[in-house]
Structure formats: C-alpha cells, structure tokens
Chain A
C-alpha cells in the first residue's frame, strides 16, 4: 500500500514494509507486540528501526495513514481535525529533530501548548519510541493541561487522586466505608469513581445517588463517576440521576470501539447530555476515559499496528470530547501484553508522555495483576517517576487491594508518600476542604491530623459500638 522504508548498516540493508511496520519494529520490547507478531526480530533490528524512524519527516504521518481513512473513523478524526497552523512551526522536522526540539529550551510550556493540535497521535507515538525514560519524564513535565469540574486538575506541583471504593457486591455501607477511609487519608480530589460489580442502569443510579449525597452532605469539592457503559450513563441522565462525569473505556481503532459497543457519535451525545445538567462549579469538563495498551489486540482490532501506537490513537478520541480525566490502566491487562515491571513502567511513562503532548489531563492506574512479573516495588518506582513527570492523578484504594477487580493499584498511603517526597499538593479546592474539615493540618505538606475529624466522628457515632472485630459480614 505505502512505500517501504530502508536503512543500511554496513553491508546490510534493513527493509521495513511500510510506516506501520517501521513503527512496530522500533518499539521497545514488550510481550503484546511479540504476541501480535509485529515485534523486532532482533535487538539490532530494533535499534536500526529507531534510526530509520528518526529520519522520517513528520509530514509523512499526514500522508501515510496507518489504518485507511475510508475504513476507520478514528483515522478520519485524526486527519480531519489536524490543525495545519499549529503544525507549521514543527512541520519541517524529522522524528529525530522533533525529539531534539522537545528536549530543547525552545519547547517551553506555552510553546508546547501552542503546537499540540498540530501533533497527530502517530507523531507522538513515533517520537516516544526514540526517547529514553528520562526524556519522556522531562518533556511531559513541561506540558501543562488544566481541566476542571468542582476541583481543578493539572496545576503545577499538584497530584490528584481518584478514590476507588469498589466492593464485590456493591454493598452500600461497604462502599461508604472505603469512601470514608479515603477521605480521611486525603484522597478523592480527581473523582470518587466506582467500578460497579453489577453493571446495569438501576445499580449505577443507586451508586450515583450515594456518592451525590455524600458529596453534598460534606460539601466536598469533587465529582463522582460510576464506571459503567456510556449508554447506561445516558439512560441514567434521561431518568434524572445525578451524573457528574460520563465514563467510557476507549481504544484507538474504530473496530476496538465497536467491540466496546460505542462510536464517536455516542460519545458526542453523552458529552452534550452531561453538559446539559450544568453540575460543574469551577469548570465544565464532564468526560472520564480509560485506556490501556493491548486493548486493540485483545479485541482483534489492531490492524497489524504495535500496541503503543494503537494506544496513542485512542488519545485522539479522548481529546475530541474535552475530558476532565483520562488514565491508562497500565498493568491491568496482563503479562501477555506487558510482561513485567520493566515493561509496565516503560508503558506507563510512554502513555503519560504521549497523552500530555497531545493535550490530555493524563493520570495513571499504576497497577499489576498477580500473574505479571511485578510487585509493589515496581509500582513504587512507576509512581515516583510519574509524580516527577507531572502526572495529573493516580488511583487511591484501601491498602492497594481492589477486592472487586482483583488487582493491585496505588493506595491512599502511596499517594501521600508521593505528595510528601515530591512536594506535591492536592487540587487547591480540595486542599482547602481538607484543612476546613480538620482532616489535615497542612494539606500542602501531606500532614494528617491524629484526631478523628469532628464531622466524621459524628457519623461514626451513629453506628452500634459492638461488632468491632475485623470480621466481615456478608452485607
């Protein structure tokens, strides 16, 4: 379909079938690309592919689309929305020049913001493939993406958290117990977001009402979200449920999104429906998206692309709908896509960098499953690196153990560690609330009060004092 790319090394000439093939061979090693059969066949081939990729002009990405325009609405979105004016200052660069420029002092925060609509996902993915981890951190840290609903996300020196109070049977008191635990550890400024165990409209509505009442009663400057299918949330809105944010898992190809049961028109409808409720106070970003490398391959919808390029294309979908929050669920999908801590850490940094470069409020579910070659130390590393890179938010869950989804993500304690060691505060509205409620004496310094805050002590008093053992009832 498109021209082949060649690169000579001594007497040997490497040939890559087309731009997609070159991108895949240039990708740092990971199990998902091996599973798809698109990985470099040797370490040398990968290094050579990276050299060849560095010589590709950025303009080529506008002329050589990786998935045909006629076949894929995500390609059409990328091409139709490309801003030629924003692209002009970087239009003469090769991928290698682009890396140099991104690292240079010329690429200030303002400059990066001004060109973001001229960058396509494929350009971002390409340059990330020839960047080391420190490059990904340094450039991401320069990117500013600020969004707001009832709290403001993405300000410099801030790290927000999603409070994730999941329960295997959606027990309302069980969920409330985890919400309380999180709030008392200063978590929840990005969103209080529940993955429902029972996924239907009635259950989502019950959970929305619970969170809405808690947010109202304690006047918390945050927003709620039930992570149910976008069509369920649309139905909830029609029935008058208190919807703050609309959630959807998204992928980077039309076929992936079809397998998830939605298209771009569905998301547009959902954004308009949520905006019509006018529930935001300091801003109107009403969408929450999750992504993750490997989703396209697992839906058999990757069109022969490597998984990181597919992932980055999902960011074109996200940025069309002005999200408050986007996060990659980096280690959730399993070792057939990202095998170990090294691959998970690399992917987390790539996803964060590419999304920030494209202008998304990117957070990360720093996580792993028990069949991956990873542990808490790997998560400590990734959390620290992402905090340094200016990650918008991370997850917060009691003791890192999600008892509903059966995986491990960052805990309330972990977020406080990151805030302390990196000097990061919560969102400003939430920071003021934590001090007003006497949860923290100094929220900017992540200093918790030892005494139980009065408003919550009063709620706990309503419980019978007995049954204090750590026994678990069946709800």
Chain B
C-alpha cells in the first residue's frame, strides 16, 4: 500500500507521470501521457480536443476564394508561365458542405453553370493546353489556404527550368470539389493533363495536408487507377520544393509516355536523400503511389522519411 498523498501540497496535481515519455524522440504518437487514476490528465485531454477542433474547422470552414484569387493573380505577375487570365471560380454539383460529405458522386461533377463557363474558355482542339491546374477545397480548406500558392510557385520554378515549353490553362478553383472533378475541368478546357490540388482528409496532427493528383487525358468517368498521387504536401510533411520536383518529374514522364496511373512509376529520387537513391526506394514508394483502392481523399497520408536503418531496438536491449 502507498501512503496517502497530501493533496493540499502545492506540487500535487493528481497526475502520475510516465517516465517513458522521453521515447517521443522516436515517434509523434501520443505516448507517455500520464494518468489521473486510469484516465487522461486534464492537460492532455484538453490538448486532444484542441487538435480535433482544428481538424473539424479544416473540414467545415469555407475556403476564402477572393483571397486565394488575389494571391494567384500576384503570382501570375511574377511567373509569365501562368496564364494571364484570372482564375475561374467553379462549383461542383454538391450544393453545400453537408451534401458534399454525404454524396461524393456529386462532388466529382461540375455543376451546369461551371460547365457553361468553361465551354466559353475552351480552346480549339488544334491548340490544347499542356496542363490545367485545378484547386479544389476537398476536405481541408486549411490545406489550400496554407499550401496551394507556395506549391504552385515551386512548380513554376520546376516547369520554367524544363527544356520544353508548358502551355498552362487558366487556373480553376472548385468549391465542394473531389479529385475526379478535375476530369470535367480538363476535358472541357481541352487540357492534355490535369493536376488537382486538393485538401486531404485532416488528421489530428495534420489538419493541412495538400494532395496532388495527376491525370493524363482527363475525361469524365475515369477511375483512380488512371491517377498518380503525391500526398501530405506541407512544410511538416513533403515540402514544397520536393513536392514540385516529384510533380515535375511525373508531368514530364506523363507527357513523354502519354499516360498516367498504374503504368507511370515515380523514379524521381529525392532532393535531400542520398545520391544513389534514384531508384524506387522505400521512401519513394511510401510517399507517392497510385492508389486505385482509395476513393478520393481517403488516402493514407504517408510522410516522407528515409527508410529506418536496421539499428538495435531499445525494447530488445
């Protein structure tokens, strides 16, 4: 039996700390939280609620489209590669967020007004665009607000350095959009490739992950097997220059091979990894793959890191 603690002592907070909390050097998991009885201590319980609140806000806060438009117009002044036409604001068939969450099929299609708008934009088939960039709010407006413009800037750097010219369609912004809505946009704009930037399903520790989905020859009705995905684009995950490097590689390869999806493999290597990692290393496979089994944003976020070396494990002594 333990002695009864003095609860009037100023040091007593009712919490039994876990000395193994220092193992957090190995993981972002919420280990060593301590306990009050067998329950979560107050501080840890409230911190969890804050993280959940931020993830919820990421899902439900509407994207500030005017602010985004303004940032993109500023960026276009800096990069002649970008179309000098202002971004086009579009909407899916999901009329509001509640509909969007329950009817993924509607989020995958442009509404009639948007289709009409794009038909006015359409180029003649003799002059197709090489690339259409589509920004969709997806499941995290926070991801778009934080990460879409810096990523596009990094992508411009990447494409400017390419030997072949890239003719870009006006950027489109889709409200209540899912990944496949890019197929509608690409088809109507007559773009050879579409790259969709979309807010991924927020995790508790990652409310602002941006996903990138590339599709060659977009038309309505394609399955996810025809797409390539780059996930977890954000400063704490796959950073902008690495993401742009990977996207640039996939765009060039897709253009050269005239395909995308299962048959298009990422062998871009890593900017920061060892020099000999230009093969499909574990880390590459973990950060980028086509994911035919995952509908839309239900992708598992797999941050980049070098493969763990086979070192001695502390638990095995």
Give A contacts to B, CB under 8 Å.
Answer: 31, 34-35, 165-181, 184, 197-198, 200, 203, 206, 210, 213-214, 217, 259, 298, 333-336, 339, 369-371, 375-376, 397-401, 403-408, 411, 413, 416-417, 420, 446, 448, 450, 452, 456, 458-460, 462-463, 467-475
Contacts and interface: CB of A to CB of B under 8 A. Distances in A.
B285 A173 contact: no
A371 B313 contact: no
A169 B52 contact: no
Contacts of A370: 52, 55-56, 58-59, 201-204, 207
Contacts of B2: 450
B315 A459 contact: yes
A68 to B, nearest CB: 26
Given A168-B301, A171-B308, A459 B314 contact: yes
Among B48, B282, B316, B317: residue with most chain A CB under 10 A: B316
A198 B282 contact: yes
Question: 6 shortest A-B CB distances, which residue pairs?
Answer: A399-B30, A406-B203, A174-B27, A416-B38, A177-B23, A181-B31
A345 to B, nearest CB: 18
Contacts of A474: 305-306
B16 interface: yes
A217 B317 contact: yes
For B38, B102, B104, the residue with the greatest tally of chain A CB atoms inside 10 Å of its CB is B38
B203 A470 contact: no
A178 B316 contact: no
Contacts of A406: 201-204, 206, 300-301
Nearest to A169: B305
B279 interface: no
Given A180-B315, A398-B30, A413-B35, A475 B308 contact: yes
Contacts of B38: 413, 416-417, 420, 446, 448
A168 B286 CA distance: 9
Among B16, B26, B28, B293, which residue has the most Cβ atoms of chain A within 10 A?
B26
A184 to B, nearest CB: 7
B311 to A, nearest CB: 7
B21 interface: yes
Given A168-B301, A376-B52, A413-B35, A198 B286 contact: yes
B117 interface: no
Contacts of A259: 293
Interface of B: 2, 16, 18-33, 35, 38-40, 44, 48-49, 51-52, 55-56, 58-59, 101-105, 139, 201-207, 282-283, 285-286, 293, 295, 298, 300-303, 305-308, 310-311, 313-317
Interface centre among A333, A376, A413, A469 (most CB of B within 10 A): A413
A371 B59 contact: yes
Given A197-B302, A399-B48, A406-B300, A172 B308 contact: yes
A410 to B, nearest CB: 12
Nearest to A472: B28
Given A334-B298, A339-B102, A459-B315, A401 B39 contact: no
Given A214-B315, A370-B52, A413-B39, A181 B282 contact: no
Nearest to A473: B25
A197 B205 CA distance: 17
Contacts of B18: 181, 184
A210 B313 contact: yes
B44 A371 contact: no
A417 B45 CA distance: 14
A431 to B, nearest CB: 15
B102 A35 contact: yes
Contacts of B32: 181
B315 A179 contact: yes
Nearest to A216: B316
Contact of B104 (A173, A336, A369): A336
Contacts of A34: 102
A207 B314 CA distance: 15
Given A370-B201, A408-B204, A413-B40, A170 B21 contact: no
B32 to A, nearest CB: 6
Given A184-B20, A416-B38, A398 B29 contact: yes
Contacts of B303: 168-169
Contacts of B300: 197, 404-406
B103 A35 contact: yes
Contact of B35 (A165, A176, A448): A448
B4 to A, nearest CB: 13
B29 A413 contact: no
A174 B204 contact: no
Contacts of B39: 413, 416-417
Contacts of B305: 168-169, 171, 474-475
Nearest to B40: A413
Contacts of A369: 201
Contacts of B28: 168, 403, 472
Contact of A173 (B19, B40, B302, B313): B313
